[in-house]
Every structure is written in C-alpha cells, then in structure tokens.
Amino acid sequence: MPQVLTANRLRDGAVVFLGAEDRWVERLDEARVLEDKVVADTALEGAKADEKANLVLDLYAFEVVRFNGGVRATHLRDAIRAAGPSVRLDHGKQASRP
Amino acid sequence: MYRYDEFDAAFVADRVAQFRDQVERRLSGELSEDQFKIHRLMNGVYLQLHAYMLRIAIPYGTLSPRQLRKLAFIARRYDKGYGHFTTRQNLQFHWPALSDVPEILADLASVEMHCIQTSGNCIRNTTADHYAGAAADEIEDPRPYGEIIRQWSSIHPEFTYLPRKFKIAVSGAKKDRAAIQVHDIGYQIVRNERNEIGFTVYVGGGLGRTPMIGHKIRDFLPVADLLAYTEAIVRVYNLEGRRDNKFKARIKILVHEKGAEAMRQAVEAEFAQRDRDALRLPETETARIRAYFAPPALAPREAVSAVFEARKASDERFAAFAATNLAAHKTPGYAIVNISLKPIGGIPGDATAEQMEAIADLAEQFGYSEVRVSHEQNLVLPHIALEDAPALYDALLAQGLATANTDLVTDIISCPGLDYCTLATARSIPIARRISERFGDGARARDIGPLKINISGCINACGHHHVGNIGILGLERKGVETYQITLGGAADESCSLGALTGPGFSYEQVVDAVENVVNAYLEHRIDRNEPFLEAFRRLGMAPFKEALYRSNAGADI
C-alpha cells in the first residue's frame, strides 16, 4: 500500500509531510508517495536525521490511496490530521485550500 | 480571590525563565525531545493532532476579569482567536507555536496565571464547586482549601514523579457539584456534632479506562489536618502505586488491589507517624487564606425584583433563561447566572476572544468581578442581582451566550475528540453538535428536563462519559468509528457509573439512538417531575434496551 511520511514541525507543531527532495511540505498533495512499506521504511530512516536536527518530531508513515490525481489518507485520523478539524473548516490546512 | 504575594510572583517568574531557556535549548537542539518532553509536559504543553496544545490552570475554576481579558489577548495574538474550557476547569489553546509558549507564559504570569502541573505525573489542578461562595446550599466555600492544596502541591519535591497523574476535588455543599467521588481524592466539607468544619474523605475514584467510585476512608478530618492527611494519602500512593504498567498506575487501582480498608489503615498509619505539627494548618493561616475569598459586599436588594419579574412576564425567552440558567444564591435578591458555552449546534466549551472580553466586562459591570469555570465546560457569574439579570441577559444574547440550556439535554459535555486529540479513536464534537441540533433550544428540551449527556472520543474518558446520565464513548473498529452508549451515570453525591446498553452504533446512527433513549424516557416517566436519572434508576435498562435494539433501530452488532 502506498504510504506518506509525516511528522510535526518542532517550532510550531504544524503537520508536515515528506515531499520531493526530502523537503518537508505542509500539504498532502505535495507529499512524496512511497510505493510500499519497504520504500517507506527507508525514507523513515533517512528522515530521522531531521528529527536529530530538531526540525521535526513524531515521525511516522501512514497509508494512502490514490484518488483524483492525488492521494488521500485511508485512515480517518490521518485524513483529519492532513486537513484540519472537521468541526472548524476555517481552521487548519483545509482553510487555505483554493 | 487569592492574590500572589511576592514569593508566588517570583516563583512563577522563575519558572517562566526556566522554561524559556528549556525551549531555546530544545529549538537549538541542545535538548533532545526525550530530554525536553518531561519539562514541556510539566508546563502544560502537549503535542496534539494539528499543533501543540497549551493547558492553562484555572485554580478551582476562579477567574478575574483581568485574567479573562489576558486569555482573550493570548487567544488573538498567539492562537486562532478562541479558547476551549475543559472538564477540569482549565482552559486549553489548541494552536500555539512552541516558540511562542515562553511569551505566552510571561503574559500569563503578568496576571498570576500559569500552566504548571497541568500535565505530567504530578498533582494537577484542584477543582471545586463552581458555585463556591455563592450557593444557597453551601456549607462553606471550598476554594480556600483548594488554594491551600494548590500552594502545598506546587512543585512539591517529593510528589513531582508520582506513578501517574493525581487529581483532587473539593465540594462545599452536600450537593456535589465537583464530582468528588470520581477523583483520586475527594474532599466533602461537612460539620461534625460540635458544628466544627471538616472533611469527609474519599479516595480512589476515577474514570478513564477503569472507572471506579471513590471509597470513603474518613468521616471527619479536621481542617487543621488537611495537608498532613493529604500528604499521607499521596505518600502511600507514591510508595505503593504501580509503576510497571501505565494503565494500572492510578491510585484507584492501588485502592482496588489493596482493598479500601487496607488503604484506609495505611493512610491512617502514615498520618499518625508523620510530624503533624509540621503540616498542621494554623487557624491564623487558614483565616488569612479564607479572607482572600471573602464574599464581596453585595449591595442590599429586595428579595423580589420588580424589574426581573416584569421582564419574565413579558419575555418568554428571558423567562426560559431565568428558569434554566439561574441558580439560588445565599443572599436574597441575587442569583448565580450560568453562561452556556453550548450554543445549539456549537462546539461545547469553546469561547471566542470577543466573548471572553464581553464576559469580563459584564463581570465587572454586574458581577462583582468574579467569573467561574465549571467542569461542565460552562462559565458562571456567581453574584448577579436579580434586578440586573435582564440587562445581563440582553448583553449575553448579543454575544451568543444566552442559550437557555443549563443542565438540559443540549448542555452536552464533550472532549475535543478525534478532531483535535492524538489519543482519540473517534470524533466527539460532531456528535455533540448533531444531538444539540436534534433537540434544539425550546420547549422540547425543557420538557425533557435535566439530562446530562457526556461524550468521550476515546477510552481515556476525558468527556467523563462514565458519569453521564447518557454517556457516549467513541471507539474505532476496523477503521470505522463506533459509539457505545451507557446509561444511568451520575457525578453528584449519588455517584454512579453508567451501564452499557449493548452493541455500539455508527457515526450516522448514534444520534437517532440517543433520541430513542430520550423517547423511551418520555414514554415511561411518571411525569415531568421525574428526571431522566431517577426514571432510569426506577425502570432499569430494559425499556431503553428495547427502544435501542428493536429490529429496525440500526445498531451495528
């Protein structure tokens, strides 16, 4: 199952995803899709350097499914985490969506 | 209310400086997360689903307008313009940046507030009856004792690394509005045969994964022994509480495994052998602290206010508000006014910065500058002249703060749940909103009468669902949210834990299920004077189970 690597940014706690060129991005649709668990584990190992470098914390990989040209989290918790609270659509990442 | 003396102020300022330094060293990498985490927790900083969360202590739920305005300021400047009041009388901000937290703490310190010990395995905020100092049925104001416990427990060197968190509550009336029987220690103010004030002591209550009702271990504890006895309890817990399993580490498990009688003996033995004089509260000291909580000099008022009566007669909605949101004050001509933070369809316990400032203004204008936070996620103005109630109501109405639903079915208590919390297994707030909308703000809710609904988004039970008249627990099964319903819980002096109805309900069906429960109550109650809880205790589970699990009721077996 495809996965995406995620963490929280240390400075402000914002949810970030591992994107292209190992940069951390704020939007799920910019995240690098890791095709399977093996690829994800490799990326996770690499990303631990950023934990040590105090950029991010609480690294983990979550499952996604391809959807409409992008990806969507398969688990509700990750979907809420990627979008923002379902009860305040004016808060979180969903608020700045075009 | 209690004012910091110069020692308190210096202490808090030191802590802010200390944490500022810790944050800087964390951001620079000098401290790893493992090293830093324990410090950030002791300063109330959590990492949640979308952001950090900051939990601010509001000792025994008492706030001054000045403090409330500062919370509003912080909400605007550092957060998203609102705050969330919790089931332990605290306030949470759900979007602060770690890098801003030292500034926030400095702002809080300027109004004698802090976040110390709102997390971690230590003694947390001591909560009290939100009608303290005002209620007509009060024996004595519990807040001085809350303050004494607070001072003693703040950064107590022996109790900074308890097996787990520790929560104390104090009730000042026979009517328990502080849920003392589901706290680690519950203190009930009582009078003995000589009319002396003291405490009945309960130990080992708690909710969470393994709800338990506290055991009474002392009928009468003299006031002077409050700290010595509290220390004895916490020492026994610190020594014998389990540290091998996080889910068995609360004192309730110790009491359960040891037995209540053995626990009582251990506490009494510890109490007897300690140097009682070291912690005996001198009457002068207790009196000094009580003086900070002296009731305001309320202007004498007629017991019946013509203005109040006239407004009730001419305005149905004001009459409804007066009937539900006002509670009896000990002084004639006054009332306690409940400000609902449960607008129909709204998020329970949230208040905007504008609302906080409005309440601060109203407290100053009408309320002798006192505001309270209840553990049911509402605010209270404890000293309002009946004469002023109409004007207060109009001002509250303008701010969306006049929902007439105190203790009614729409006065729902809900944790933040999966929308905010890393621990959650299901969403709780949307369920609260939909239930609120289903029953609405009118005759139907009033006809149903007092009915406490508590919703928790996971097994940790921060929504206190075990003591809801209707409790809802959101779980996850195979990636899908499922909601269990419990009935017959109560947090007051008749404390009981809710009983599970049976199989859970889906996100789509749980609100219908709740409505079926309510309809069953309406069908079987003797009359309007028999509230839900009483009816349930008389009828038992059978009619409710039947209403829920009729073949077309839609539970997911």
Q: Does the CB of A8 have a partner CB in chain B at under 8 Å? A: yes
Q: Which of B286, B124, B133 is nearest to B196 (CA)?
A: B286
Q: Lowest mean pLDDT: which of A16-20, B62-66, B142-146, B549-553?
A: B549-553
3-state secondary structure B365-390: HHCCCCEEECCCCCEEEEEEEHHHHH
Q: Does the CB of B65 have a partner CB in chain A at under 8 Å? A: no
Structure tokens, B511:
């609100």
Yes or no: say if B82 and B92 are a contact pair by the CB < 8 Å rule: no
**Residue with token string 């003291």:** B198
The pLDDT, as a whole number, for residue A36 is 86
The pLDDT, as a whole number, for residue B407 is 98
A85 confidence band (pLDDT: 50, 70, 90): very high
Among candidates A51, A54, A85 on the partner chain, residue whose Cβ is nearest the Cβ of B27: A54
- Measured between alpha carbons, how far apart are the two ends of chain A, in Å? 29
Q: Cα dist. B60→B112, B171, B342 in Å?
A: 14, 10, 21
Structure tokens, B470:
């209707």
Q: Which helix (H) or strand (E) holds B216?
A: strand B215-222
Chain A residue at shortest CA distance from B433: A87
Mean predicted confidence (pLDDT) in B62-70: 97
Inter-chain CB proximity A91 and B429 less than 8 Å: no
B556 confidence band (pLDDT: 50, 70, 90): low
Q: Which of B129, B165, B132 is nearest to B491 (CA)?
A: B129
Percent of chain B with pLDDT over 90: 90
Yes or no: say if B118 and B125 are a contact pair by the CB < 8 Å rule: yes
The pLDDT, as a whole number, for residue B4 is 66
Write down the mean pLDDT value for chain B. 95
Domain with CATH 3.30.413.10 in chain B: 142-292, 413-549
Residue B523 burial (10 A CB sphere; 0-12, 13-18, 19+): exposed
Mean predicted confidence (pLDDT) in B266-287: 91
Res B169 pLDDT > 70: yes
How far apart CA B29 and CA B8 sit, in angstroms, is: 31
Res B17 pLDDT > 80: yes
How far apart CA B58 and CA B249 sit, in angstroms, is: 26
Inter-chain CB proximity A53 and B479 less than 8 Å: no
Chain B contact set for A51 (CB, 8 A): 33
Q: Does the CB of A20 have a partner CB in chain B at under 8 Å? A: no
The pLDDT, as a whole number, for residue B274 is 85
The pLDDT, as a whole number, for residue B116 is 86
Inter-chain CB proximity B28 and A54 less than 8 Å: yes
Four-CA torsion B478, B482, B486, B489, nearest 10 degrees: 100
Q: Does the CB of B478 have a partner CB in chain A at under 8 Å? A: no
Do β-strands B168-171 and B127-128 pair in parallel, antiparallel, or remain unpaired? Answer: parallel
Inter-chain CB proximity B49 and A14 less than 8 Å: no
The pLDDT, as a whole number, for residue A53 is 86
Q: Does the CB of A65 have a partner CB in chain B at under 8 Å? A: no
In CATH, the number for domain B413-549 is: 3.30.413.10
Structure tokens, B486:
């419990």
At B95-132, the pLDDT tens digits run 999 999 999 999 999 999 999 888 889 999 999 999 99
Among candidates B27, B433, B481 on the partner chain, residue whose Cβ is nearest the Cβ of A87: B433
- Angstroms from B21 CA to nearest CA on chain A: 14
Write down the mean pLDDT value for chain A. 93
Q: Does the CB of B265 have a partner CB in chain A at under 8 Å? A: no
In CATH, the number for domain B6-109 is: 3.90.480.20
Q: Does the CB of B522 have a partner CB in chain A at under 8 Å? A: no
The pLDDT, as a whole number, for residue B70 is 98
In CATH, the number for domain B142-292 is: 3.30.413.10
Handedness of CA B530, B531, B534, B538 (dihedral sign): positive
At B78-93, the pLDDT tens digits run 999 999 999 999 999 9
ipTM above 0.90, yes or no: yes
- CATH class as words, domain B306-398: alpha beta
